[in-house]
């Protein structure tokens, strides 16, 4: 089993930055692809970004590319999502997830999920 716990969310103003963290425990996730998704009120959960386990290559959704930066520290078993130039449309619950599928970008490809952290951006 893999446990994922997100943190770092909060209420911020447009233009601010946040760094979300996802602490992992239980079974090692070094070889897993780690991803972030977000779900705004009344909307489907959408893919934000992923990072592969071994090489650490990243991939971002078009809507966040250039403002979001994903990284992982395998020694600390932690995943980070740096969010810059926050916009009101970034308001959502952000979820961390782990997948055995290297190129996973859809929800069903992820095996483990955290409980989410709320990000609210005021204009």
Per-residue pLDDT tens digits for 9-24: 999 999 999 999 999 9
Give the pLDDT score at 50.
97
10, 3, 97, 80: which is closest to 45 by C-alpha?
97
What pLDDT, in 10s, does the model give residues 78-118? 999 999 999 999 999 999 999 999 999 999 999 999 999 99
In this predicted model, which residue has the larger pLDDT, 75 or 11? Answer: 11
What pLDDT, in 10s, does the model give residues 114-123? 999 999 999 9
| pLDDT at 74 exceeding the cut of 90 | no
Largest CA distance in the chain: 41
Hey, which residues does 33 pair with through a beta bridge? 99
What integer is the mean pLDDT of 16-41?
94
Lookup result for tokens 């996802």? 22
| pLDDT at 55 exceeding the cut of 90 | no
* 9-46: b (≥16 Cβ within 10 Å) or e: beebeeeeebebbbebeeeebeebbbbbbbeeeeeebe
79: tokens are 């995943």
Give the pLDDT score at 87.
96
């Amino acid at each position: 089993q893999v446990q994922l716990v997100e943190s770092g969310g909060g209420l911020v103003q447009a233009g601010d930055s946040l760094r979300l963290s996802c602490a992992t425990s239980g079974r090692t996730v070094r070889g897993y692809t780690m991803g972030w998704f977000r779900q705004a009120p009344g909307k489907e959960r959408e893919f934000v970004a992923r990072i592969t386990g071994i090489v650490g290559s990243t991939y971002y959704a078009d809507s966040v590319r250039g403002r979001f930066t994903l990284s992982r520290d395998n020694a600390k078993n932690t995943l980070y999502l740096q969010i810059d130039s926050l916009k009101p449309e970034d308001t959502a619950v952000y979820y961390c997830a782990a997948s055995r599928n290297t190129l996973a970008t859809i929800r069903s490809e992820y095996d483990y999920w955290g409980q989410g952290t709320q990000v609210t951006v005021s204009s």
